[in-house]
Every structure is written in structure tokens, then in C-alpha cells.
């Protein structure tokens, strides 16, 4: 039955509903720049119609629920691609650091140091007993050894930096896991009445995205609304309001391994199981790439040292005594050093080929100088310089490849983000229009109240 | 597709960032003058640059070595010529004194003694503080004689103190040029020709007033002269080899330098033109951004 009071209460409900709608709109406007925010919308529906003499009579509007506009599939896509983004970003940064270490474009570097070393041996052949020539050779050799040492030191430094970054990343992962557990708890308790905890869900979405940048994860939502997070290899990180930690421990090479800590405090090494995210990028750079270049540098230093020493020890110095090792050390780039005995007494440089033919015999020096052009490296297919050139070239290619993968991934993320924005993003123009829409409806509903009131007055005046 | 405020701002930030990056790269090229400022700019080019640089440095060293070789050959020739000239004087004396008087022969003996010592000194000459004709024993004088001996014969008998070594110069990859340094083979080969012995025997013959012995030395001195000519002649092809190698490097080096420049040096004009077109694109993006970002419905609502 329709009566004036019915009209009043209908108008009152309309006022409230439009007011609610404006509330939601203002929430959207306020959060236009909030990262990860999904726009919300009040779902209005007509009330249950009442029976009347002229048939079912509409009963006004009420707000049913606040809906969060959000594409679940897009979210999981973004999550997956974030892992690739994190991985290639970390990879790219590490390789660019490598490029700085091996940058020979200015001039001074290992290539030039090797060049000067060979030239010094040649200069010696012109005057094998000359003190100046011998001093020049020793100095050039020391510069060469120091350059090797420094390159190795820089590579080690890079490894240490990556190690620190890995530790930092593990800490971030733990922090995010804890936040997720906390948000899970809040969502479960907010949604008990089967309402949707929209803002908490947005926040949780953001945390999940951050987490997937760092490490490869699998997620699924359970019936209570909580999200469970597992690492790629199946170790739980978050389940309902519980979370597990990752930690680091030192491995055999003195670097950090990533371990998962279970409920009783035991640890499980998951370093080899990580297959995505920033953690993977850092581990790959640290253990794969940098170690590879360190090995190549060591190979070069080792061959150089062995070959020069072999010839030098087969020659004779200015005292007619067989030459000592020219370079000492274990054959790695880190401890390559000119024999201090030779540095202390230049006579020990073995330029002669015969114990009786010093001081004018330069044949051994000639042989050593000719090592420059020998195919000694890579199974006798490359000279020392060829080998090193290929190292520098490979670094350049590594950077190009890394940049290319990162750019591709980054473009894909941008596309996905745009799609997410298109579904969930706030458009101020749209909200403005909605504001006007609801405001007009509010004004009209207010007018309804006034009209009903006037009708009441009219009836009262009839009495 | 529904486009929101964030979609636009995010896209614009991405484009501006990438344009800035391109501008920065061009600036670096112009400032450094080089196309390759890091290995990733052109990995293969970087490898070539390193090779060319090494090649040029090695060629420069070869050029230095060749100069040293040429100097040695020049000085050797000068010395040998001097010895030959001195030998001619001695031969003239032997001819004259074949029919000389006892007194003139005594005087002549004194002359030849002086000439002998001068030849000895020349054979003992140094280059860069190294004896030239001692083989590998460059710190030991090749020839010596003992003035404390009893007889003239013994006084003017020279001993060779060096060895049979030579002087080698690296002129190209695995290629050396060898210059003669064996004083024995040049001046005093006891199994062949000796420069010193005929002179010594002439001195003894002059002092002994022995006309037949004096005449006998003429033939030996002639042989010595021919021997020296042969030695000097043998140096000519070595000198020639040095010359040709030198001009080879002189022609080759600029070509490598050119290749290096092509890989490495930036074409500044081209870089500046590219910079300008990037700048225009950047400014256009900025202007467009300003036009798109600012207006919204709010500006038009009262």
C-alpha cells in the first residue's frame, strides 16, 4: 500500500543510498593516486516490491554492496610477469657493473698493459744487457700483474655487493610475508559477515605483487578469503595468518645461500630451487656470470704466467745462471706478481739462451717477445689478446642481451598495467560525472521529502 | 579501452624517460668523440678496436727495432771502411819498403805499429756501450794484444776474447734480421783470413830488414782487403731487408690507424644532427604532455 509515510521513508532511503554512493565516489577520488587501488562502486538495487491494489508497487532503492572492480586473471598475469621483471632487472644491473669493470674504451686497461709488456720484451732484445731496458721491462710487468690483480679485486667486490643485495632481498621477502599474514588475518575477520574487505584486498594485492618481483611464488585463495603463498619449489611462505621466514647462511665459497626456515627452526637450502624474481637474477649473476668471468681471467693469467715462466726458466741471466720463475703466484689473476728477486736485481732477467753467451745474447728475450703472436689460448686457436678481446666482447653482448630482455619484459608489464588501469583505475572525469549524477539524485530525493511533507500538511489542513 | 589519468601519466613518464636516455647517449658520443663508449655500444667493434690498438703498438715497436738495426749496420760499415782504408795504407808501405833502406824500413815499422793499433781500436769499437764485434760477449773487448811480451812477434799477436754470436733485431712477427757480430770471422779467422797477422808479419819483416818477407805480405794484405770487401758486401742485403721492412710498416700503419678511427671515432656532424632531431621529438612530447595532462572536467565545471 502506498501512503505518504511510505513515500517519506522511500525518499529517506533514497537520500541515504545516494549519500552512500557519494561516499564511495569520494573514496575513489581520494585514492586516484594510491598504488594498487581498485575503484569501488556501490551496487544499488530496487527493494522488494509491495503488494498494492494496482499491482506490485516498487519500494525504492537500497545499497546492497560495495563492489571492487578487479580482474583476477589480470592480477595473476601481472604477478607472473613481475617475476620475470625482477629477475631481468637484477641481471641487467649486475651485468652493467661488469661492463664498467671491463670498459677498455678509454685506453688504459688489461689490453694496453699486455701490449706494453710485449713491447718491453722487444725493447730488451735491442740491448739485452741494458739497465734501462731491464727496468722498463720490470715496470711494465708489474703494471700488468697489478692490472690483473685489480680486475680480480673488482670482480670480487661485485660478488660481495651482490651478496649483500641477496641478504637485503631475503629481508624484504620476510617483511612482505609478515605483512601478508597480517592482511590475511584482517581480511578473514572483516569478511566474516560475507562482506568484501575491498581496501585490505587492494593492499594485499600490492604486497603480493611486490613479493613476486622478489621471488617466484605460487598463490591461491582459500574459502576464508586468505591467500596462501608457496615458493616455486613448494615451500610455504604464508598460510592464513601464519608466515615462514627465509634466511641466509654462508656456503662453501664464502657466499650466502638462501634457506627456508621451518616451524622447528630447521633450515632447508632452497638456493638451487629459486627460478624467478630478483633473487634469481642476483643469484645467477653472482654464481653464474661473475664466476665465469673470474675463471676466464684466471685462465688468461695462468697461461701467461706458465708460458713466460717456461721460457724464462729455460734461459740464462746476466750471471750465466738459469732463469727463475718470472711471475710467482698460483696462476690466478689475484696473486699474479713479478718475482721479487727479479725486481730486486735486474740481472736476473734471463735474456740469453745459453749459460755462456750473456750479456749480448738476446735469443731467449726474442722467444718470449714472440709469445705475443703465438696461438696459446683456447686449444691453440687464439692469442692472449684474442682471448681477452673475446672476454670484453662477451661482456658487451651480455649487457645487450640483458637490456633487451629487460626492455621486453618492461614493455609487457606496462601493457598489463594499462589493462589493469583500464579495469580498476580511477578516472577523475568519470568520478566527477558520477558525483554530479548522485548529487542530482540526492537533490531530487530531498525534493521528494519536501513534497511528501507538503502533502502531509495539505491532509492535516483538511482536518 | 578505458583510459584513466594514471594510464596517461604512466605512459608519458615512460616515453620521456626513454627519450631522455637517447638524448644522453648522443651527448656522451659528442662529448667523447667516440662511437664506442662502453663494450655494449658495439661488442664486435670493441673487440676490433682492442686488436687494432695492439697491432699499432707492436708496429711502432718494430719500427724502433728496425731503426736500431739500421744504426748498427751503418756504424759497422763505417768501421769496416776505416779498417779497409788503413789496410790500404799498410799495403802501400809494404810496396814501398820492398825496395827501401834499412833506416826507412825502421821508420816504416813504427808507422805500421801505429796503424796496427788503430785497426785494433776500430775492431774494438762500441755502440751504446756494447762492443760491436765480440759476438755475445758485448761487455768484453774482442781483441787484445800483450805489449809485455818479449818479441815483436808476440807483442803483436792478437787474441780473440769474444764468441760467435750475432746481433738480432725483431722486425716483424717471428721474423728477425741478423747482423754480423763475430769479430773472429771478420778480422782474425785463423782457419781463413786474418787482418792482423799480415800486419804483424810486416812489422817483424821491416824490423828484420827482410825484403822477401816484406814482399810476401803484399799478397796477404790484398787477400785481407778482398775479404773485407766481401764482408761489407754481405751486409748490403741485410740493409736492404731492413729498408723494405721499414717502408712496409710505414705503409701499413696508417691503414690500421684508419681502420681504428673508422671503428672508434664518431662522426660529430651526424651525431649533432641526430641530437637535434631527438631534441625536437623530446620538446614535442613535453608540449603534448602539457596539453593533455592539465585539463580535466573540473576545469569546466562551475
**Total Cβ atoms within 10 A of residue A209:** 16
Is residue A56 classed exposed, middle or buried when 0-12, 13-18 and 19+ CB atoms within 10 A define those classes? exposed
Rg value, chain A, Cα: 38
Q: Are residues A185 and A247 in the same domain?
A: yes
Average pLDDT over residues A286-313: 93
Q: Which of residues 43-72 of B touch A (CB under 8 A)?
A: 43-44, 46-47, 49-51, 53-54, 57-58, 60-62, 64-65, 68
Looking at chain A, which residue has its C-alpha nearest residue B302? A436
Q: Are residues A144 and A194 in the same domain?
A: no
Does residue A173 register a pLDDT over 90?
yes
Q: Which residues in chain B are closer than 8 Å to A372, comparing Cβ atoms? A: 58
Closest alpha carbon to A28 in A435, A441, A439, A450:
A435
State residue A227 phi and psi, 5-degree precision. -105, 135
Closest alpha carbon to A164 in A325, A37, A282, A313:
A282
Q: Is residue A272 part of a domain?
A: yes
CB-CB under 8 Å, B298 with A122? no
Q: Are residues A91 and A221 in the same domain?
A: yes
Query: What CA–CA distance (Å, rounded) separates A355 from A363?
Result: 12
* Residue A435, pLDDT score: 93
Taken in order A371, A372, A373, A376, the sign of the CA dihedral is positive
Q: Calculate the CA A438 to chain-centre distance.
A: 45
CB-CB under 8 Å, A389 with B47? yes
Q: What's the gap in Å between the CA of B187 and the closest CA on chain A? A: 19
Q: Are residues A341 and A458 in the same domain?
A: no
Q: Are residues A64 and A83 in the same domain?
A: no
Tell the residue number behind the cell numbers 708460458, with chain if given.
A307
Residues 6+ apart with CB under 8 A from A226: A184, A187, A188, A239, A240, A241
Does residue A254 register a pLDDT over 90?
no
Q: Calculate the CA A14 to chain-centre distance.
A: 51
* B11-39 exposure pattern, b = at least 16 Cβ within 10 A, e = fewer: bbeeeeeebeeebebbeebeeeebbbbbb
Looking at chain B, which residue has its C-alpha nearest residue A118? B58
Name the pairing type of β-strands A236-239 and A227-231: antiparallel
Looking at chain A, which residue has its C-alpha nearest residue B140? A359
Q: Are residues A443 and A455 in the same domain?
A: yes
Q: Is residue A138 part of a domain?
A: yes
CB A397 within 8 A of CB B43: yes
Does residue A463 register a pLDDT over 80?
no
Q: Is residue A218 part of a domain?
A: yes
**Residue A2 banded pLDDT, cuts 50, 70, 90:** low
Does residue A74 register a pLDDT over 60?
yes
Final residue in a domain of this structure, among A239, A267, A284: A284
**For the residues of A195-259, what is the DSSP string, one character each?**
---HHHHHHHHHHHHHHHHHS-EEEEE-TTSPEEEEETTS-EEEETTEE--EEEEE-TTSSEEEE
Taken in order A274, A166, A214, B4, the sign of the CA dihedral is negative
Does residue A332 register a pLDDT over 80?
yes
* Count: domains in chain A: 3
Helices assigned H by DSSP within A259-383: 277-283, 291-313, 340-344, 363-369
Q: Is residue A408 part of a domain?
A: no
CB B116 within 8 A of CB B196: yes
Does residue A71 register a pLDDT over 60?
yes
CB-CB under 8 Å, B10 with A422? no
Q: What's the gap in Å between the CA of A352 and the closest CA on chain B? A: 9
Q: What is the mean pLDDT of each run of 10 residues along chain B (302 residues)?
A: 86 91 92 90 92 94 95 94 93 87 89 92 92 91 90 89 90 91 89 88 89 88 92 92 95 95 90 93 91 79 72
Each as own residue / partner, the long-range contacts of residues A253-260 (CB below 8 Å, 24 or more positions apart, any chain) are: A255/A159, A255/A163, A255/A286, A255/A287, A256/A163, A256/A166, A256/A167, A258/A166, A258/A170, A258/A283, A260/A231, A260/A235
Which of B2, B4, B165 to mutate against chain A (most A CBs within 10 Å)?
B4
Q: Is residue A175 part of a domain?
A: yes
Structural domain containing residue A447: 4-69+425-462
pLDDT digits (tens, 9 = 90+) for A59-69: 889 988 899 99
Final residue in a domain of this structure, among A243, A258, A284: A284
Q: Are residues A332 and A440 in the same domain?
A: no
Final residue in a domain of this structure, among A284, A319, A349: A284
Q: Are residues A219 and A345 in the same domain?
A: no
Q: Calculate the CA A267 to chain-centre distance.
A: 25
CB-CB under 8 Å, A392 with B46? yes
Looking at chain A, which residue has its C-alpha nearest residue B14? A414
Angle between helix A198-214 and helix A72-101 axes, rounded to 10 deg? 30
CB A420 within 8 A of CB A71: yes
Q: What angle do CA A191, A196, A197 make, to 5 degrees?
A: 75
CB A351 within 8 A of CB A365: yes
CB B207 within 8 A of CB B106: yes
pLDDT digits (tens, 9 = 90+) for A181-203: 999 999 988 887 767 788 899 99
Q: Is residue A162 part of a domain?
A: no
Helix (H) or strand (E) holding B53: helix B43-97
C-alpha neighbours within 13 Å on the C-beta side of residue B239: 14
B176/A contact by beta carbon, under 8 A: yes
Q: Is residue A105 part of a domain?
A: yes
Does residue A1 register a pLDDT over 50?
no
pLDDT digits (tens, 9 = 90+) for A240-253: 888 999 999 888 88
Q: Are residues A223 and A258 in the same domain?
A: yes
Q: Are residues A173 and A150 in the same domain?
A: no
**For the residues of B100-167, what is the DSSP string, one character each?**
--HHHHHHHHHHHHHHHHHHHHHHT-EETTEETTBTT-TTS-SEEE-TTSSSHHHHT-EEE-S-S--E
pLDDT digits (tens, 9 = 90+) for A91-143: 999 999 999 999 887 778 899 999 999 999 999 999 998 899 999 999 999 99
* Residue B209, pLDDT score: 87
Q: Are residues A268 and A301 in the same domain?
A: no
Q: Which of residues 268-297 of B touch A (CB under 8 A)?
A: 296-297
Count the residues in chain A. 463
Q: What angle do CA A305, A307, A308 make, to 5 degrees?
A: 65
pLDDT digits (tens, 9 = 90+) for B10-34: 889 999 999 999 999 999 999 999 9
Maximum Cα interatomic distance, chain B, rounded to a whole number of Å: 142
**Total Cβ atoms within 10 A of residue A31:** 17
Q: Is residue A63 part of a domain?
A: yes
Query: What CA–CA distance (Å, rounded) separates A258 from A267?
Result: 10
3-state secondary structure of B91: helix
Q: Are residues A215 and A342 in the same domain?
A: no
Amino acid at each position: 500500500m502506498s501512503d505518504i509515510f511510505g513515500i517519506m521513508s522511500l525518499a529517506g532511503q533514497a537520500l541515504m543510498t545516494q549519500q552512500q554512493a557519494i561516499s564511495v565516489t569520494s573514496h575513489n577520488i581520494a585514492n586516484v593516486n594510491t598504488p594498487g587501488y581498485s575503484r569501488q562502486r556501490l551496487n544499488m538495487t530496487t527493494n522488494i516490491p509491495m503488494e498494492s491494489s494496482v499491482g506490485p508497487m516498487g519500494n525504492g532503492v537500497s545499497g546492497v554492496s560495495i563492489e571492487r572492480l578487479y580482474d583476477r586473471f589480470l592480477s595473476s598475469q601481472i604477478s607472473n610477469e613481475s617475476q620475470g621483471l625482477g629477475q631481468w632487472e637484477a641481471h641487467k644491473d649486475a651485468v652493467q657493473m661488469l661492463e664498467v669493470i671491463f670498459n677498455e674504451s678509454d685506453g688504459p686497461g688489461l689490453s694496453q698493459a699486455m701490449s706494453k709488456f710485449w713491447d718491453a720484451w722487444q725493447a730488451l732484445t735491442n740491448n739485452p744487457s741494458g739497465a734501462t731496458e731491464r727496468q722498463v721491462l720490470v715496470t711494465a710487468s708489474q703494471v700488468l700483474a697489478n692490472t690483473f690483480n685489480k680486475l680480480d679485486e673488482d670482480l670480487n667486490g661485485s660478488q660481495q655487493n651482490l651478496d649483500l643485495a641477496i641478504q637485503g632481498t631475503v629481508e624484504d621477502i620476510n617483511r612482505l610475508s609478515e605483512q601478508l599474514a597480517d592482511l590475511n588475518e584482517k581480511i578473514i575477520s572483516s569478511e566474516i559477515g560475507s562482506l568484501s574487505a575491498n581496501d585490505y584486498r587492494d593492499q594485499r594485492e600490492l604486497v603480493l605483487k611486490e613479493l613476486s618481483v622478489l621471488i617466484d611464488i605460487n598463490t591461491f585463495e582459500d574459502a576464508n578469503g586468505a591467500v596462501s603463498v608457496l615458493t616455486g619449489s613448494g615451500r610455504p611462505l604464508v598460510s592464513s595468518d601464519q608466515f615462514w621466514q627465509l634466511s641466509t647462511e654462508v656456503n662453501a665459497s664464502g657466499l650466502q645461500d638462501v634457506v627456508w626456515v621451518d616451524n622447528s627452526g630447521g633450515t632447508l637450502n632452497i638456493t638451487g630451487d629459486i627460478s624467478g624474481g630478483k633473487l634469481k637474477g642476483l643469484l645467477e649473476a653472482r654464481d653464474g656470470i661473475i664466476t665465469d668471468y673470474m675463471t676466464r681471467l684466471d685462465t688468461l693469467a695462468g697461461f701467461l704466467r706458465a708460458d713466460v715462466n717456461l721460457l724464462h726458466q729455460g734461459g740464462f741471466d746476466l750471471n750465466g745462471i738459469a732463469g727463475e720463475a718470472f711471475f710467482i703466484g698460483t696462476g690466478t689473476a689475484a696473486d699474479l706478481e713479478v718475482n721479487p728477486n727479479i725486481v730486486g736485481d735486474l740481472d736476473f732477467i734471463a735474456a740469453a739462451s745459453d749459460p755462456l753467451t750473456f750479456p749480448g745474447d738476446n735469443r731467449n728475450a726474442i722467444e718470449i717477445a714472440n709469445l705475443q703472436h703465438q696461438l696459446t689460448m683456447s686449444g691453440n686457436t687464439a692469442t692472449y689478446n684474442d682471448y681477452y678481446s673475446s672476454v670484453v666482447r662477451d661482456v658487451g653482448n651480455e649487457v645487450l642481451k640483458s637490456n633487451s630482455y629487460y626492455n621486453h619484459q618492461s614493455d609487457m608489464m606496462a601493457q598489463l598495467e594499462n589493462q589493469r588501469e583500464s579495469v580498476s583505475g580511477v578516472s577523475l572525469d568519470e568520478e566527477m560525472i558520477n558525483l554530479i549524477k548522485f548529487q542530482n539524485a540526492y537533490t531530487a530525493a530531498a525534493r521528494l521529502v519536501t513534497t511528501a511533507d507538503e502533502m502531509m500538511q495539505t491532509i492535516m489542513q483538511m482536518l | 579501452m578505458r583510459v584513466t589519468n594514471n594510464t596517461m601519466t604512466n605512459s608519458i613518464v615512460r616515453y620521456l624517460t626513454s627519450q631522455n636516455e637517447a638524448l644522453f647517449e648522443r651527448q656522451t658520443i659528442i662529448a667523447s668523440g667516440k662511437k664506442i663508449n662502453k663494450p655494449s655500444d658495439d661488442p664486435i667493434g670493441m673487440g676490433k678496436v682492442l686488436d687494432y690498438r695492439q697491432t699499432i703498438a707492436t708496429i711502432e715497436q718494430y719500427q724502433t727495432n728496425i731503426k736500431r738495426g739500421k744504426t748498427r749496420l751503418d756504424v759497422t760499415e763505417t768501421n769496416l771502411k776505416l779498417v779497409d782504408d788503413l789496410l790500404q795504407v799498410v799495403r802501400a808501405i809494404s810496396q814501398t819498403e820492398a825496395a827501401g833502406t834499412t833506416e826507412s824500413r825502421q821508420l816504416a815499422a813504427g808507422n805500421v805499429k801505429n796503424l796496427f793499433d788503430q785497426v785494433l781500436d776500430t775492431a774494438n769499437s762500441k755502440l751504446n756501450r756494447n762492443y760491436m764485434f765480440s759476438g755475445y760477449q758485448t761487455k768484453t773487448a774482442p781483441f787484445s794484444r800483450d805489449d809485455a811480451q818479449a818479441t815483436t812477434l808476440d807483442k803483436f799477436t792478437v787474441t780473440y776474447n769474444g764468441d760467435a754470436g750475432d746481433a738480432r733485431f725483431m722486425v716483424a712477427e717471428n721474423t728477425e734480421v741478423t747482423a754480423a757480430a763475430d769479430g773472429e770471422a771478420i778480422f782474425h779467422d785463423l782457419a781463413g783470413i786474418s787482418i792482423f797477422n799480415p800486419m804483424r808479419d810486416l812489422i817483424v819483416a821491416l824490423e828484420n830488414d827482410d825484403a822477401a818477407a816484406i814482399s810476401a805480405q803484399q799478397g796477404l794484405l790484398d787477400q785481407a782487403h778482398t775479404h773485407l770487401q766481401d764482408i761489407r758486401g754481405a751486409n748490403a742485403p741485410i740493409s736492404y731487408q731492413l729498408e723494405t721492412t721499414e717502408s712496409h710498416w710505414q705503409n701499413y700503419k696508417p691503414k690500421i690507424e684508419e681502420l681504428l678511427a673508422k671503428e672508434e671515432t664518431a662522426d660529430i656532424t651526424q651525431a649533432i644532427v641526430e641530437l637535434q632531431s631527438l631534441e625536437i621529438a623530446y620538446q614535442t612530447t613535453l608540449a603534448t604532455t602539457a596539453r593533455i595532462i592539465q585539463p580535466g572536467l573540473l576545469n569546466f565545471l562551475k
